[in-house]
Structure 1
Amino acid sequence: MNSLFVEDGNKLESIIDFSRLLKAIKTNWWKITLFAVLMTGLSIPLVLMMTPKYESYASILLKAELINSTTFEKTVDFDSTRGQYYETQYELLKSRRVVEKVVEDLKLYEKPEFIDGLDINSHSIEQRKEKSIKYVFEHMSILPIRKTQLVSIGFEAKNAQYAADVANGIVKVFIDFSIEDNNQANSKVIAFLQQQVDDTHAQLKQKEKDLNAFLKRENLINFYGVDGLPSKKLTLLSEDLATARAQRISIESLYNIVRKYQKGDLIDLMSIPDVSRHPNIENIRQMLTDQRTVLSDLEKRYGPKHERVIQARAQLVILENQSNQLIKEIAEGIKDQYNAAVFKEKQLQAEVDKNAQGFHLLGVQKTQYDNMMDDIAHTRSLYNKLLQRLNETKVNNQFTESTTKSIDAAMVPKNPTKPNKSLLIIVVAIMSLLIAVMLVVIVAALNNKIMTVRDIGKRLGLNVLGEFKCYKPETKDMLKMTVKDALENSVKYSALEAASLGVRSQLLLLKSEAQVIAVTSATQAEGKSLISSLIAKSMAIDFKVLLIDMNLRQPSLTQSFGVEDEKGLIDALYGDNSMKSLITTQPWFDFLPMGSLSRSPLVVLTNQKLSELYQDLRQEYDYIIVDTPAISDHKDTVLISQLVDAGILVIESNYNSANILLEGLEQLKDIQMLGGVLNKVDDKHLELNENLNLPTVEDIIL
């Protein structure tokens, strides 16, 4: 069961107890106050001797864009929307280039404040300039105003005039550098464009000269261009060929029809539209029609054999013969037209083929000519653009502006800004208080010792049974109080009496069935013998109690009661004496002394008869209080723990750390620990009601 207390104690030990820290601060408040007062008092002369410093600020505007004085594209431009633009401007304001120029313009290297004690005569101007530059860097400030394009430029100096002059100097130099950079950029662009214009113009002239030489060498100079005349001629021939081919196709179809009808009766050719529409055919057809009409009338009037009928018939035959002859002539004419069309087409085709072959040979020259013309056109276009850009840049260069505008000039400050002596003194006072509090807290945090009964529960996980105040001697001649003195002088040591009764009440409230209770401590001299006696006395009020001295190595109880020469526990184990005859009766309880030690304590504590003796004592007494050695002394207490039902741990206030106590409890993990009793508690650490509001008594050290 005790292992649970140890585990709980280890867990609680790892938790920060803020109440303990606060109590330490409360207890040492006067030390904290004294430290703060002393530190503040010492700092006041130093603060009053501090050199005043002045600060002056100028403000500038970082332009988002430059004014466009013309419609031409600007040579120098910037994009203020980039995330790094304003950060770059801030760094440029702090650049060495600007600071060096300010130092040079204001001759700061001749002012003692800026050269920090350097002798003007013994140090070179370069050394003094470098010192001045370093001083300006250390005391200048660039403060961008949030969510604006404004920047405050400040300077701190011991001289108010210097503070304003340097701040304004930084603004002036930065603006001048901005204008100078723009002018230099424009000049470089103009020089570059002028060189490009000259080079491009020379290239253009040379290319035109090369083109003329090529045309002359290839005999290609003409009004129509390199391929103008051949192309036009070929075009006309192609058009004539197309016309001739169309005519040939048209007359060929007519010719084929004529050939077809020539195989039959020639009169059938009259049905062909091109033949029937011939003027002569139309006339002769009309004449044939008229003659047939006349013949028909004469036959009706005179009969077929009449002379006039015969003449009319002969006339009709003549007309028919003429008609056939005319048809033959027309057919021959169509044939001649077809042959002529075929011949013309062949002639034109041959001419087109001839000219096309020559035109293909001209293509290589035409390609070279076109390439040269394109090159000249591109060069001329580039030349015109460069010349235009050069003229635009020259116009733009007549108006230059800075990317920065001065808004407010730095004014000479009337009052110093540093140091704020009142504030510094207050800060020193506050810091002194904080440091003192911190030291107290650190000391309290590092102090792992059990100070109050509250620590027993929080840091060890044990029940709090009680606390006993520490009695201090009034003089150095006073002797150390014995256990017997404390028991006999209950009035004089009323606090001990009240505390022991409080422990009795706590033990009864626990309702533990433990009958044999061991009283021990982690180390020696923590007062466990006194506490065991006081507990035995308080329990003997209502119960039959036996107090046993089992501290075989240092039997302080046996010595305190003056029975060191009498027989006791050891004699009962190794002699013939009965246990009852060895128990001494004290005014408060029965006491079993140690007896005469003739063997090793470890041998005595491992005697099998010891357990039987305890069983006999259990029958005679309600409670048996056992005073044991310290846990750290050998293995005696561990062996004794096998004979008892429970244990009580006596802890001296502000003596042992919680870790030592937890290690001791770990060794007694097999028995029930009823709780802890805090002994030798300083008055300022008392917490239980038994020790509060007691009448004043004489203090004696335990």
Structure 2
Amino acid sequence: MESAASPHEHDEQVLTIDFRRYLSALRKYVWLLAALIVMSVAGAVVYTTHQTPMYQATASVQVEPKLPDLLGTGDMFNVAGASAEYYKQQRQVLSSFTLIEKTVDQNDLIPKLLSDAERKELSHDDQLDLATRRLQLDLTVRYPENDRIFYVSVKSSSPEDAKLIADAHVATYESYAKGLLQLSSSNASEALQAEFTEAETKLRAAEQKIYDFQAKNDMVAVTIEAQQSLVQGNILAFTTKLNDARAHEIELSAKIAEMKKEQNEDVLSNPVIMMGDNVSFETLRTQYYTEKIRLIELEKDLGPRNPDYIIQKQKVDLLYQALQGELKILVRGTQDLYSAQLATNTGLAGEVEKYKQEAKKLSPLIAIYNELVREKKEFDDKYNILRARLSSMQMTGSLSSIISNVRGLDKAQLPTKPVSPNIKTNVSLAAIMALVVGVGIIFLIVFLDRSIKSITDATQAADAPVLGVIPQLTSADLDGKNDDRTRDMYIHENPKSSIAEC
């Protein structure tokens, strides 16, 4: 009798027995696995040999981010940024139903994609739709590297058709890109023409405003800039003269005040004489001193009562009176000069004030005129920019039929070997699938088999430990006699055997 095993030993025993059970089942049903594999491989071979061979042709197309800069205008020819999003969009365009439909329609590919029976039952539009969908399934667009090159692959049962369709689709894409460029150039030219016309109208209106303003303010013959310069020059000139005149006025005023202060002094020693520049006064004074000396000599020689002395004295007195008269004339002349200077200063101040008033009148006109000039300059700049852009855009439109950012790179080569069906791949897949299915079936059989075949099965089924094991009689125990009597008499004839003990 066997002793009860520990839980840990029991789990290990269960795992070992189960694993061996599955291995035993695999060895037992190996014929089933072999049969499934042979049948699957045979089926794969038959299926592959009955499939229509498919050929694949690949053409390449290069998509640049901008057009060739034939005019040297730089950014004017940018098509789009060289971003991944742009090339993703172009890949979608190449694979789109619309572009494939254009390829089918423009190259008359319906007979190559549909059978005669299919075409008889459908209208032309339905034929085009079905042919497009069928080609869409057989057409693949790849962009493996960021090198601006797309690869268009087409599968067909005819290698010639595969090559023809691949090249035709690339050509359709080129035409589509040129058409977009022409449409874009045309729309842009129309928009620019409208803006240019509007800018030209505004420029002419601004020029007319300036002319009307000049005519209204008498500025046609002499521009406002010239008037402003003239007024500023006059203000500066008359202000300078006025400052000089006022300085002279101050000088004359001081001289007159000094003359009034010294007017009672002796005419011969009066300092007022030194303030003037009177030649006649100097002549009279010279004569006076000459005659005075002679008078002194006559008085010394003849005496004061002598007639010659008296006559000489009268002559000296007359000269003295003449000197006094000249002094008065000098003072009066200085006063007249001062009065004249005051009048001059008043006139100069009036001129300065007049030109200042003119400057004040010009100031608002200048502000308005400058605003009109700035407005005209803005319209003029916009007009020139739009004219240059319109000219470039018109040249771009005329060149759009011969230039494009899309061009076919390599024509498709005529395929010589089919890409499908692949007998090696099909046979390998069939064998692997048969092996997996066979193993799965065997494991399922073992899993669903609930019969007791071992001590472990009995322990698990009864949920109790094993108390003993009844041995099974083998051919060796029966000495090769496998009849009922020998089996029944075995214990009687072998009372000390382990089987008899159980």
TM range (shorter): 0.7 to 0.9
Distance 1:308-1:251 versus aligned 2 partners, 3 A rule: farther
In structure 2, the residue matched to 1:340 is 340
Q: Which deviates the most, 195-204 or 271-280?
A: 271-280
Tell me if the contact between 2:192 and 2:390 (Cα under 8 Å) persists in the aligned partners: yes
Matched, 1:162 2:161: yes
| Secondary structure in structure 1 of the residue aligned to 2:120 | coil
Larger mean Cα displacement after TM superposition, 373-382 or 435-444? 435-444
2:429 paired with 1:415:
no
1:35 and 1:436 in contact (8 A); partners too: yes
The residue aligned with 1:393 is 393
Structure with greater contact order relative to length (CA < 8 Å, sep ≥ 6):
2
Match of 1:574 in 2: none
Q: 2:434 aligns with which of 432, 435, 450?
A: 432
**Unaligned stretches of 5+ residues in structure 1:** 498-533, 535-702
- Among 241, 244, 262, the residue aligned to 1:243: 241
- Contact 2:59 2:411 (8 Å CA) reproduced: yes
Determine the structure 2 residue equivalent to 1:255: 253
After superposition, the Cα gap between the structure-2 partners of 1:358 and 1:469, relative to the gap in structure 1 and judged at 3 Å, is farther
Q: Does 1:66 find its partner at 2:64? A: no
Equivalence for 1:133: 132
RMSD over equivalenced CA pairs, Å: 5.3
SS of the residue aligned with 2:153?
Answer: strand
Equivalent position amino acid for 1:62 in 2: V
Tell me how far 1:392 sits from its aligned partner.
Answer: 2.5
Which is further off, 342-351 or 266-275? 266-275
Whether the 8 Å CA contact 1:196–1:386 is kept in 2: the answer is yes
Q: Which letter maps to 1:224?
A: V
Summarize deviations over 1:341-370 as a string: whole Å, max 9, x none: 333333343454455446545555554444
Q: Is the 8 A contact 2:267 2:324 kept in 1?
A: no
* Paired amino acid for 2:61: I
Q: Given residue 131 of structure 1, which amino acid in structure 2 is its aligned partner?
A: L
The answer to whether the Cα contact below 8 Å between 1:453 and 1:466 also exists between their aligned partners in 2 is no
Counterpart residue number, 1:506 = none
Question: Displacement of 1:243 after TM fit?
Answer: 1.5
Instruction: Specify which structure has the higher proportion of strand.
Output: 1
2:147 is aligned with 1:148: yes
CA distance in 1, matches of 2:247, 2:92: 90
The CA deviation string for residues 123-160 of structure 1, in whole angstroms up to 9 with x for no partner, is 11111111111111111111113242222110111222
8 Å CA contact 2:267, 2:323 repeated in 1: no
- Asked if the contact 2:68/2:77 (under 8 Å) is kept, the reply is no
Residues 267, 324 of structure 1: 8 Å contact kept? no
Deviation per residue, 1:451-501 (Å, 9 max, x gap): 989999xx9xxxx9999587489999979x99x979x8664649xx9xxxx
In structure 1, C-alpha distance between the alignment counterparts of 2:269 and 2:133, rounded to whole Å: 122
Please state if 1:377 is matched with 2:377: yes
- Mapping for residues 548-559 of structure 1, pairs under 5 Å: none
Q: Report what 2:478 is aligned to.
A: none
Question: Does structure 1 residue 180 correspond to structure 2 residue 179?
Answer: yes
Alignment of 1:289-300 (within 5 A): none
Pairwise CA distance, 1:93: 1.0
- 1:77 to partner: Cα distance: 1.6
Q: Structure 1 residues 491 and 287 mapped into 2: Cα distance closer, same or farther (>3 Å)? A: farther
Amino acid paired to 1:338: Y
What is the match of residue 222 of structure 2? 224
SS at match of 1:121: helix
Aligned-pair CA distance for 1:214:
5.0
- Specify the alignment match of 2:46 in structure 1: 45
Q: 1:367 to 1:270 in 2, by over 3 A?
A: farther
SS of the equivalent of 1:406 reads: strand
Q: C-alpha displacement at 1:104, in angstroms?
A: 0.5
Distance, in Å, in 1 between the alignment partners of 2:90 and 2:217 is: 66
- Which runs of structure 2 are paired with 1:87-106 in the superposition (5 Å)? 87-106=88-107
Partners of 1:316 and 1:157 in 2: CA distance:
150
1:402-421: CA deviation from partner (whole Å, max 9, x where unpaired): 22222211122122110111
Query: Structure 2: which amino acid aligns with 1:168?
Result: D
Q: TM-score, normalised by structure 2?
A: 0.73
Q: What is the 5 A alignment of 1:11-30? A: 24-25=22-23, 27-29=25-27, 30=30
Matches within 5 A, 1:607-626: none
Figure out how many residues of one structure are paired with residues of the other and give that number: 471
Kept after mapping to 2: 8 A contact 1:61/1:407: yes
Indicate if the aligned counterparts of 1:72 and 1:396 stay in contact, CA closer than 8 A.
Answer: no
* CA–CA distance in structure 2, aligned partners of residues 91 and 199 of structure 1: 40
Q: Who is 2:86 aligned against? A: 85
In the alignment, the residues of structure 2 paired with residue 42 and residue 80 of structure 1 have an alpha-carbon distance, to the nearest angstrom, of 53
Sequence identity of aligned pairs in percent? 15
Counterpart-to-counterpart distance in 2, 1:382 and 1:252: 60
- Report the structure, 1 or 2, having the larger helix content: 2
1:363-404 per-position Cα deviation (integer Å, ceiling 9, x unaligned)? 555544444444333333333332222222333344332222
Instruction: Supply the distance in 2 between the matched residues of 1:246 and 1:409 (Cα, whole angstroms).
Output: 96
Read off the aligned partner of 1:91 and give its amino acid letter: Q
